[in-house]
Structure 1
């Protein structure tokens, strides 16, 4: 899927706006809090513009893209599928 250049430009502008907001924050939240907030904001942007995993991976440097894919795989494998319980007769 190709992304229109306008949508990608808007996506970059919103990421820049998030960076400006982060710099404007007076308080110093912990590293885990910042990472969780950044991840939430990024996922919101990804959903808003309908980006695929390939689009997201291509946006980051290669090492970070690979790390992102590995985290998605780990998250999907961590949740075992529940099967149906057999009916008791």
Structure 2
């Protein structure tokens, strides 16, 4: 039985789509929960055109203030210094 080229091509495209979906699920599973939540939050914020004020207003006042303080603290926090490698010295010959 000969397969129609269009049918075969459609089958290949469906397999590729399944592979991409599986790879995306695998990547999402390996992400840290906080990173995944951040990515989802930013997507929702962009989709609905929300500002930070809109998001903060959604929470009770105390939680909104705590959220803003956390954002400010994260922005002001100094970056962790990198460990310096010990330099190798040439032995005197």
TM-score range, shorter chain: 0.3 to 0.5
Q: Please say which structure displays the higher CA radius of gyration.
A: 2
TM-score (norm 1): 0.43
TM-score (norm 2): 0.42
Work out which structure has the larger RCO, using CA pairs closer than 8 Å and 6 or more positions apart in sequence.
Answer: 1
